[in-house]
Structure formats: structure tokens, C-alpha cells
Structure 1
Amino acid sequence: MHLPLTVVPSSSAREQELSRFQNSLKKAPGEYCFVFALGYLIVCQITRVYIFDYGQYSADFSGPMMIITQKITSLAYEIHDGMFRKDEDLTPSQRDLAVRRMPSLLEYLSYNCNFMGILAGPLCSYKDYITFIEGRSYHVPRGEDGGAEPPCGGAEPSPNAAVVQKLVVCGLSLLVHLTVSNALPVEYNIDEHFRATASWPTKALYLYVSLLAARPKYYFAWTLADAINNAAGFGFRGFDRHGEARWDLISNVRIQQIEGSTSFKMFLDNWNIQTALWLKRVCYERTTWSPTIQTFVLSAIWHGVYPGYYLTFLTGVLMTLAARAMRSNFRHHFVASPPLKLLYDALTWAATQLAVSYTVVPFVLLSVQPSFSFYSSWYYSLHIAGVLVLLLFPVKKTQHGKEPHEHRRLSRAKKFDENSLGQNSFPTANNVCNQGAASAARHSSGKE
């Protein structure tokens, strides 16, 4: 009788199997969680749009699900960075936001479902939230702009002034929305009589004004959500150079910068700020090819399943790349002379506002037919102009083939890394006062 032979794997084979298993675990907190959470959100969006109320904006479950999806995926990648990646492989912001231990169930549910941001956000990092919950959010070093040191041992800063100011902005935004937006509907841009009789300057002016009138409802929602968090004591960012408390840690919009934007990037950087940071952290910084395109596509998927969203964000890719090329090739000719710089700013402001308005019309109209009707009334002029710009004015390269904006971004990242500051988070060491004294000494000596 012959006994069956058992093949015992060699030590190298066992090590390879173990390595493959560990690699699969490394991906689980990030990519797998991201795919599952985003997939579930897509199902929710499809259910809302194509089963319940197509073409209607409603405060239903899909809104909170969008925020929770951001939180779940952000925390998954922060755990991934903190527990499965080496520090030298992380960017400065990833290193600062990395979570080094697995949150408890209570911490996880509290972060995702706390009352302050469950309906409209804004998104915050897990470390910032835990710092606030543990009462350490006021123990921060001076602000990122070189502001004053916090008063060690003094009273905690009050959010009352910031809350009142933001509530005033909410009231004004709501008033403008209720009075102006109805008088200047975006749908009038595709009115047959208007398209047939209006001149090009009139069309451009009405396009800008109608989209300007559509923005206050977003200002209202985001500013109110920010004020709610501030009223609860969350959102303290440090002190400015005058020693005033800053309550903009999780602010989602900067109205003045938006309305005065002189570049497409400047507009995007100040609009829905926390979502832009989420897109950067979970997509732009982690992709190996076409990060701009992938980021815009992810933004469209996250917003919903209306075709207008995809038309807007695909057009946004073209506009962003074209604006980048124009800035790279022409801006340096105007910055030396103040009058030329003023002329450049005026021209780029007008071009940016027109391009943004042209891009986001499908976002408001939602459906395919009205969106293409609008673009055809403009003869796809800005699409054609964007393609021509990319063909005629390629983006100039710097060291190692990096684009200028990327080179500057890496330089800023290195600066942040040297100062141990992230983009949205503050250190939480217990010896803040000692750090502050040392920092003041460095500042007075001219080394900082």
C-alpha cells in the first residue's frame, strides 16, 4: 500500500505567498473600500434620479451619502498611509494626516455620523475631528501665514464673531438667491427667441450674470454648514499675524476669491474646497497617469449620474489644460510691469468668468438635449478654442519633465514638510508652548 505524498512548499514559496497576502492587505483599506463606497453611492444616485425624481433637486438620502462616502474613503486611505506605507513614500500632507492606529467602532461612527456635518458636510480629516473631540484643537502653534503665537494658558478663543459673520453671509446669499435667480434663469440661455435675436456680447453678458445668480444657493449651504461646525467649537485653525483667531479649518468656499478669480485653477481652488482636497488626496496624488482627467471624472461620478455633470467635468478638463497652457506661455510677459499686470488680470478675469460659466451650464441644465442645445448656440466656440490652444501652445516643461505648476507644488510641499505642517491639519503635541517659544526665537533670529 502506497501512502499519498504531501508536497511541502519551500520556504521561498511560503515567503512569496505571504508577500502576496500582505500586498493584498495593503490595498484593502484604500482601493477596495474606495470601490465599494463609491459603487454604493452610484447605486443610491441611480435610484434617486431614475426611480424617484429625475431633474429635481431634493434633500434626500443621497446628499448625506455623498458626504459619508468622502469620509469613509478618506479615512480608509489615511489608515492605509499610516499603517501600511513607509513614511518616505508619503507626501507631506499624507504623512501629516496618516492614521497610525485602527479607530474604535465608536470613533468610526462618530466621525462619519456626527450631527455637525451629516447633512451637508463639510468634509474634515479624521485627525482634525479626533483632535477636536479630545479637546486639543486649541493647542496649536501659530498660523500657517506666520501669525502670532497662541496665548498659552489663556482662555479658549470664542467662535461667536465668526459664526455671526457667516450667518450674515448666509442671509445675504439666501436673499440674493430668492430675488435674483428667479429673474435670471440659466434656462433662458437656450430660449429660442433669445438665441435668434441676442447679439454675441448680450449672450456672453447674460451667460455670466445668470450663472453668477445661480451661485448664492451654494454659498448659503456651505457657509451655513461651516457656521454650524464653528458654533459647536469645531473649525479653529490657529491665529493670524494679528493674533486673531481663525475659524476656517473646514471652510468650503471663499466668495471673494471666486468672484475675483483670474484663472480656472483659482476658481476651482476656492469652490467646494473640502471636496477639492478630497479629490486631490484620494485621486490626484495617487494616480500614475492623467491625474487631471481622472480627477474630473471622479468628481462627475461623485456628484451623480445626470449627463450634464459629465459634460461639465469633461469640458472642465479641456478648459483647465488650456488655461494652464495659456498661463505657462504668456503670464511671464506681463508680470514685470504693473500696468501690463493690471491689464493681464482684467483680461484673465473676464476670460475665466466666461469660461467657467460656459463650462457649468450643463451642470445646471442636467440633461443632454438642453446642454447640447446651449453649446450648439455658441457653436462650441470655447471647446474649439481650447483645442487650438493645446495644439499651438503646449505647456512648458521644467526639471525632469514636470509642468511648472507641478514644480511649484513640489517646492511648496517641501516647505510644508520642513515645517511639519499639513494642508488641513495641525500638530497636536503637548509641548505647544515650548514649540511656540522656540519658533518665536527662530523668527526673531531671521531663520524662519
Structure 2
Amino acid sequence: MDWLQLFFLHPVSLYQGAAFPFALLFNYLCRKDSFSTCARYLFLLAGGGALALAAMGPYAALVVIPALCAVALLCSLGPQEVHRWAFLFQMSWQSLCHLGLHYTEYYLQEPPSMRFCITLSSLMLLTQRVTSLSLDICEGKVEATSAGIKSRSSLSEHLGKALPYFSYLLFFPALLGGPLCSFQRFQARVQGSSSLCPRHSFRALTWKAVQILGLECLKVGVRRVVGAGAGLADCRQLECVYVMWATAGLFKLTYYSQWLLDDSVLHAAGFGPVSGQSPGDEGYVPDADIWTLETTHRISLFTREWNHSTARWLRRLVFQHSRVCPLLQTFAFSAWWHGLHPGQVFGFLCWAVMVKADYLIHAFATLFIKSWPGRLLYRTLAWAHTQLIIAYIMLAVEVRSLSALWLLWKSYNSVFPVVYCVLLFLLAKRKHKFN
């Protein structure tokens, strides 16, 4: 499986690991009175530039250029129009880069450069930060600097006002991964002295390291099992269900490990939860709640918790501003943001239908299943079905190509989403009659 090897040989974790000691160094320097606020912004920006060059090579220009253009838009446009233009520019630039990947994969039939894939991933995270900041300015949560920039000021004053924006868009702890950090939180950490640099709990960082090590060891074992068995092209009947479940488990383990590493780098740099704040509070949202993701029997809850900060960003950016079919629009935009590969379009639209079905199924189950044994049986069956549907969606999104998607579609695995589609149709019709 070439696509499987491409996914698991991704070197982002190596670069994130290399950034970890510099994150600790930044946190240490912040305790020095001589380390000014401007020096902190420059340190984060210089670290982002160095990390971009190391991980992306010449493709780093594809991230730096839109960051510069985004800062120019943020500093020149008014609060009411900045979000629209920043969103259109950023998504247009990202879409053009994704078209380059489509051209390489589907027209030239060549494997894409790993550095280019890292660049696209970083560009997607940059889109999150640009649109989050532009929304903050539009909603009045962040004071716009456009008036100050337009006034007659020296070049150094202009650069001083633009530096926090540019540093936020390219600061190295979040350049290659990590939960979305708002500009208010970023600015408060950089400008504050005591809140930015709390004494790290050695136990907390050690526990994250133990979790990452355990996930990596488990991933090696699962990968050997998947590699030794049949693939989707060779499996027969119910064997395909096991292949799908095991392969999706391998994807999830990789995501969990990477998210924990990204979170550790942010925590080491001082951008983790502050004292007295739990990880679930408004200001800090970790991406991986492994226990909830692996035990929930609700697809809707899995959707809200999977890559939690991105889910909240999509809800704020699309769902809350959509008047017609907000759920479908949110998942359609997610497919666009990911690159509009065939498997991604199918997978995200299927995911939207599954979430809609989950709401109706759970509502009717809560209404009609009253006994304790019945509820236990329902939760058990719903949990198994949820895990299999999520595995189906995950494979569709990750394999991306039409040929691999066809292998998945014609296997026995398609029974699981079809069951939810039938239940959605029947329960929606019954709900309409009841109303």
C-alpha cells in the first residue's frame, strides 16, 4: 500500500521533536527581564522561519507569502471587510496549492514531494489562524490596527504594529501542528510575564511522553498486523471489515500520537493551559481526548471531539453563519479545506449524513428504549456501529483516490453507512408524520 507508507513515513513528528528544546528555551528566556516583548515576537517568528526552511525547503515560500499578504490585508482593511477578503485570499491561495497536488498525483501520476505535503499541511493551519484572527477583528474581539497603519507614521512604527500579527501567523510551536491558539491567547502569553512562563509540571510532560511512547509502540504492532494481512484489493467478504477496522485503527493511533506531540511543544513553549484552568476551558482546547473518542456510541459526539480545535473553528467559521443546511455546508467546506480529493468529498459528505442520522436515531432510542438492559444493548450496538462507520469514513478520506474509494465502496464495509442511511430515511419520514 503506497498510500499507507506515505502516511506513516511522514516526518512532521521529527521536526516537531526538534522544535521541542527551542520551545523550552523560549519559555526559559521569558523569565528574564531583559527578554522584551519585541524580542519574544522576533524569537517566535525567527523560529518559525527556521523550522519552515528545515521542513519545507524552497516550498516554505508558499507559506511565507500568504502570511505576508494576510498581514497586509489585516493592517489595511476595515473591521467590517477584513474577514471577507482575508478568507477569499487565503482559501484561493490554498486551493491553487492543492490543485498543484492534484496535477502531480492524478495527471502526472507521480508521488508528491514530502516537503510539498508538509507545506500543504502547514498552509491549512495558517488558514485557521488567518480566518480566526480576521473573525476576531470583525467581531471586535481584537482591536484593528488599520487606522494606525493608514496614519502618517514611521516605517518602524508600521512594522511594530504588524509584528504581532506576523509572529502569530508563523510562530514555530504551531507552524506544523497543534490545536488552534487564538490571537488573544497568543498575545496574552507573549506580553505577560508570569502567565506566559509558569513552572512546567515535569510530571505532566513526562506523562505526555509516556503516552506518545505507548501509542508509537502500539502503532508498530498494529502496523505489522495490517502489513502482514490482506488489503482491500485482496480481502474477501467479512475479512474486509477486519482490514478496514485495523487500518483505521492505525490511522487513529498516528493522529493521537501526533496531536499529543504537538500539544507538548505548545505546552513547553508556555502556550498550554495556565494554572487554575482545565484543558477543556475556553482558552485551551487539546485535539486528542482519546478516551471519549474510543468509548462514545454517538457519531455526533465523536465528530465534535475529533480534532477538537478544528471542529470548533469550523463551527465558528461556517456552521454558525449558515442559514441553509449548516451541517452539510460545514462538511462541504471541510472537504474544500482538505483539498477536494474524490475520497475526501465522498467521506465528508457521508460523514454529514451519518451525523444527521445519529441525531434522529439517538432521539428515538432515548424516547422508546426505557429498560436498563435495552439501553445497555443499544449503547453496545451503537458503539460498534459508530466505530465501524468512522473507520469507513476515515479510509475514504485518507486513501483519497477514486480507485481506492471504489475498492472500499464495493466491499462489505458499505453495509454500515447504508444501514444508517435507511434509518435516517425511515425515522425522518416518521418524524414528519408525527409532527
TM-score in terms of structure 2 length: 0.70
1-side partners of 2:289 and 2:429: how far apart?
A: 28
Q: Which residue of 1 aligns with 2:289?
A: 254
CA-CA distance at 1:281 after TM superposition: 0.9
- Per the alignment, do residues 187 and 355 of structure 1 end up closer, same or farther by CA in structure 2, a change over 3 Å counting? farther
1-side partners of 2:79 and 2:195: how far apart?
A: 34
2-side partners of 1:67 and 1:375: how far apart?
A: 31
2-side partners of 1:135 and 1:252: how far apart?
A: 25
Any idea what SS the aligned residue of 1:319 has?
helix
Residues 262-316 of structure 1, C-alpha deviations (whole Å, 9 max, x = no match): 1111212221111111101111111111111111111111112421111110111
Of 241, 244, 260, the match for 1:207: 244
- Per the alignment, do residues 326 and 133 of structure 1 end up closer, same or farther by CA in structure 2, a change over 3 Å counting? same
Of 142, 151, 159, the match for 1:99: 142
Seq. identity, %: 25
2:86 is aligned with 1:33: yes
2-side partners of 1:256 and 1:162: how far apart?
A: 17
2:108 is aligned with 1:71: no
2:171 is aligned with 1:114: yes
Any idea what SS the aligned residue of 2:118 has?
coil
Of 63, 84, 97, the match for 1:44: 97
Of 295, 301, 310, the match for 2:336: 301
Gapped runs of 5+ residues in structure 1?
A: 1-23, 83-97, 140-154, 402-448
Q: Which residue of 2 aligns with 1:177?
A: 219
Structure of higher CA gyration radius: 1
Higher helix proportion, which one?
A: 2
Q: Which residue of 2 aligns with 1:350?
A: 384
Q: Which amino acid letter does the alignment assign opposite residue 289 of structure 1? A: V
Of 284, 295, 298, the match for 1:263: 298
Larger mean CA deviation between 209-218 and 173-182 belongs to: 173-182
CA-CA distance at 1:114 after TM superposition: 0.8
Q: Which residue of 1 aligns with 2:180?
A: 123
Residues 351-385 of structure 1, C-alpha deviations (whole Å, 9 max, x = no match): 10011112222122221122122111238434432
2:196 is aligned with 1:161: no
Tell me if the contact between 1:315 and 1:359 (Cα under 8 Å) persists in the aligned partners. yes
Q: Which residue of 1 aligns with 2:151?
A: none
Any idea what SS the aligned residue of 1:224 has?
helix
Of 223, 228, 233, the match for 1:191: 233
Tell me if the contact between 1:240 and 1:246 (Cα under 8 Å) persists in the aligned partners. yes
2-side partners of 1:386 and 1:353: how far apart?
A: 13
Q: Which amino acid letter does the alignment assign opposite residue 203 of structure 1? A: C
2-side partners of 1:275 and 1:386: how far apart?
A: 25
2-side partners of 1:188 and 1:345: how far apart?
A: 31
TM-score in terms of structure 1 length: 0.68
Tell me if the contact between 2:219 and 2:254 (Cα under 8 Å) persists in the aligned partners. yes
Q: Which amino acid letter does the alignment assign opposite residue 178 of structure 1? A: V
1-side partners of 2:263 and 2:136: how far apart?
A: 23
2-side partners of 1:225 and 1:128: how far apart?
A: 17
Residues 225-270 of structure 1, C-alpha deviations (whole Å, 9 max, x = no match): 10001111111155379xx999992411111111112111121222
1-side partners of 2:319 and 2:326: how far apart?
A: 5
CA-CA distance at 1:136 after TM superposition: 6.9
Any idea what SS the aligned residue of 2:145 has?
coil
Q: Number of residue pairs matched?
A: 338
CA-CA distance at 1:215 after TM superposition: 1.3
Within 5 A, what are the aligned runs for 1:284-323?
284-323=319-358
Tell me if the contact between 2:200 and 2:268 (Cα under 8 Å) persists in the aligned partners. no
**RMSD of aligned Cα (Å):** 3.2
- Per the alignment, do residues 187 and 314 of structure 1 end up closer, same or farther by CA in structure 2, a change over 3 Å counting? farther
1-side partners of 2:318 and 2:418: how far apart?
A: 28
1-side partners of 2:191 and 2:182: how far apart?
A: 14
- Per the alignment, do residues 278 and 248 of structure 1 end up closer, same or farther by CA in structure 2, a change over 3 Å counting? closer
Q: Which amino acid letter does the alignment assign opposite residue 178 of structure 2? A: G
Q: Which amino acid letter does the alignment assign opposite residue 85 of structure 2? A: Y
Q: Which residue of 1 aligns with 2:400?
A: 366
Q: Which amino acid letter does the alignment assign opposite residue 164 of structure 2? A: E
Q: Which residue of 1 aligns with 2:191?
A: 134
1-side partners of 2:277 and 2:228: how far apart?
A: 40
Gapped runs of 5+ residues in structure 2?
A: 1-76, 147-160
Q: Which amino acid letter does the alignment assign opposite residue 121 of structure 2? A: G
